[in-house]
Structure 1
Amino acid sequence: MADELVHYEISRGVARITLDSPHNRNALSAQLRRELRAHLASAVEDDAVRVIVLDHTGPVFCAGMDLKEAGGASATEQGVNEFPAILEQIWTSPKPVVAKLGGPARAGGVGIVAAADIAVAAEDATFAFTEVRIGVVPAIISVTVLPRLLPRAAHELFLTGEKFDAHRAVEIGLLNAAVPANKLDDQVEYYTDMLALGGPNALSATKAMLRRQRPSDMSSDFADMLALSARHFASEEGQEGISSFAEKRPARWVPTD
């Protein structure tokens, strides 16, 4: 039986999903895709999980699709057809997803970074949309990447395939923060601690709200948001949050162990 390429562990409400295939720069092989999807599903289904962290071993976060594994058009097509499901799992996860990058991301790896709610990288991490340089189109990842990137930067970087650094990734909206490598764990913990303070249902509903397409009519938008707000104020979770604030104590959902 092949060794596991993606590890899964839970601590204090945080599910850490770690890509562990450094021999091919954590490329999205069939086995890695399969295990990643399974662990994402486990984290979403587990009520004990409040936040999901995407981590990695080795110097590279993810190099994109495993081109060596694709022995022909059909193999390539299989990977391309399966990859959107992974991006959608991350993008639509009802639980916040934090991507932690200690090294570079390329192609599909950048798509994963963009699909996460929050992304933090070491300052020396680099990025590139290399697809055009091998004669293919960064089509699949565009679904998650383009909503994050400034339009001018997207045109430049998608068309040239040029490498860019973590500080520019912050400037154009791909990352939330770029920090010294020895501060990366602290920065990720800062975000996970803050996210764990939110009510699980409120976080899920807020993520869905952030993804929604805004109606052109402002009055309709206000009406929808008023109804959403009222539902959560009146909910058990909302009432618990209000009580905990008034009583100056942690809400019941805040991890304590």
Structure 2
Amino acid sequence: MPLVRSQTAQGVATVTLDSPTNRNALSTALIEELLAALAAADADVSVRVVVLTHTGPVFCSGADLKETAAAFGSGRPPINRLGEVLTAIWESPKPVVARLTGPARAGGLGLVAAADIAVCSLDATFAFSEVRIGVIPAVISATVLPRLSPRAAAELFLTGDVFDGARAREIGLVTAAVPADEVDAAVASFVASLVRGAPGALRGTKELLRRRKADTFSDELAAMTELSVSYFGSAEGIEGIMSFRDKRRPNWIPDGVS
């Protein structure tokens, strides 16, 4: 049975962690299937947005500790592949929206933080539980630390305490925390906005958000001016401006999207 399912409709690829009996733990098998699903979504020109979600009561419990224990001495625990997953989400050319209505622990928080937008239920719980089993949140820090305030990161990394959706929103781990019965509507609202963006512009904006700034303000403005001019002169930029002038939909909005 597959551990990850994927389906595409109206420009949205929904990638679902589907190993509820294992609390969607990051086993090697699940990681391989997740990487394949993300790669397929990236390669599909019809896909504008990726939604990462789950079946069962738990979004992701982190590394598969049973498999990890069995791998002692082999040098090949599942954590070796976690960085590949975080990179695939973080560097995806398409916006990734995480949707969760249940707990996320350890590596699962890395997935949430890697997504561009994350929506959780208010009663979802989170914990950086690594210190309580004698390890550290090293790999996931690459995606988590850019999201969290330093004080919140220190508190939660060091204590391993559980916190809820409201706190996750407050510290920047998630974009929105809403009642459980409003999660799907909140995700749909974000997706409806995202699919209206031009594919190249969405990719470029993701790169813009994560680029290193130039050393001086004048160099930064020069670089940004050059980048802006290139996009205004691109095929998408011209199509966007012409469609605005002509009061019509630009040609990149998927069929069926109102």
| Interval of TM-score (by shorter of Structure 1 and Structure 2) | over 0.9
Matched residues in 2 for 1:57 and 1:213: separation?
Answer: 37
Task: Tell me the CA shift for residue 74 of structure 1.
Answer: 4.1
Matched residues in 2 for 1:249 and 1:58: separation?
Answer: 42
Amino acid of the structure 2 residue aligned with 1:131: E
Does the Cα contact within 8 Å between 2:3 and 2:19 map onto a contact in 1? Answer: yes
> 2:10 is matched with which residue?
12
Matched residues in 2 for 1:250 and 1:15: separation?
Answer: 22
Deviations 1:191-227 (A, max 9, x none): 0110011110000011011111112211111111111
Deviations 1:5-25 (A, max 9, x none): 100100100000000000011
Task: Tell me the CA shift for residue 255 of structure 1.
Answer: 1.4
Matched residues in 1 for 2:152 and 2:4: separation?
Answer: 32
Deviations 1:111-130 (A, max 9, x none): 00000000000111010000
Amino acid of the structure 2 residue aligned with 1:81: N
> 2:143 is matched with which residue?
144
Task: Tell me the CA shift for residue 73 of structure 1.
Answer: 2.2
Does the Cα contact within 8 Å between 2:7 and 2:14 map onto a contact in 1? Answer: yes
Task: Tell me the CA shift for residue 72 of structure 1.
Answer: 3.2
Matched residues in 2 for 1:43 and 1:97: separation?
Answer: 10
Matched residues in 1 for 2:10 and 2:157: separation?
Answer: 39
> 1:252 is matched with which residue?
251
Matched residues in 1 for 2:158 and 2:179: separation?
Answer: 29
Amino acid of the structure 1 residue aligned with 2:219: S
Matched residues in 1 for 2:111 and 2:74: separation?
Answer: 21
| Residues 227 and 142 (structure 1), Cα distance of their counterparts in 2 relative to 1, 3 Å cut | same
Amino acid of the structure 1 residue aligned with 2:47: V
The answer to whether the aligner puts 1:103 opposite 2:102 as a matched pair is: yes
**Secondary structure class of the residue paired with 2:16:** strand
> 1:22 is matched with which residue?
20
2:33 to 11, 32, 35: 35
> 1:221 is matched with which residue?
220
> 1:50 is matched with which residue?
48
Amino acid of the structure 2 residue aligned with 1:186: A
Does the Cα contact within 8 Å between 2:121 and 2:178 map onto a contact in 1? Answer: yes
Does the Cα contact within 8 Å between 2:57 and 2:101 map onto a contact in 1? Answer: yes
**Secondary structure class of the residue paired with 2:181:** helix
- What is the correspondence of 1:162-241 to structure 2 with a 5 Å cutoff? 162-241=161-240
Amino acid of the structure 2 residue aligned with 1:38: A
CA RMSD of superposed structures (Å) = 1.0
Does the Cα contact within 8 Å between 2:67 and 2:78 map onto a contact in 1? Answer: no
Task: Tell me the CA shift for residue 250 of structure 1.
Answer: 1.2
Task: Tell me the CA shift for residue 156 of structure 1.
Answer: 0.2
**Secondary structure class of the residue paired with 2:193:** helix
**Secondary structure class of the residue paired with 1:140:** coil
Task: Tell me the CA shift for residue 78 of structure 1.
Answer: 3.4
Deviations 1:107-160 (A, max 9, x none): 000000000000000111010000000000100000000000011000000000
- What is the correspondence of 1:81-100 to structure 2 with a 5 Å cutoff? 81-100=80-99
| Residues 97 and 236 (structure 1), Cα distance of their counterparts in 2 relative to 1, 3 Å cut | same
The sequence identity of aligned pairs, in percent, is: 56
| Residues 76 and 250 (structure 1), Cα distance of their counterparts in 2 relative to 1, 3 Å cut | farther
Amino acid of the structure 2 residue aligned with 1:204: R
Amino acid of the structure 2 residue aligned with 1:82: R
TM-score by length of 2: 0.97
Task: Tell me the CA shift for residue 90 of structure 1.
Answer: 0.3
Matched residues in 1 for 2:192 and 2:134: separation?
Answer: 42
Does the Cα contact within 8 Å between 2:25 and 2:62 map onto a contact in 1? Answer: yes
**Secondary structure class of the residue paired with 1:68:** helix
Q: How many residues align?
A: 255
Matched residues in 2 for 1:99 and 1:230: separation?
Answer: 32
**Secondary structure class of the residue paired with 2:65:** coil
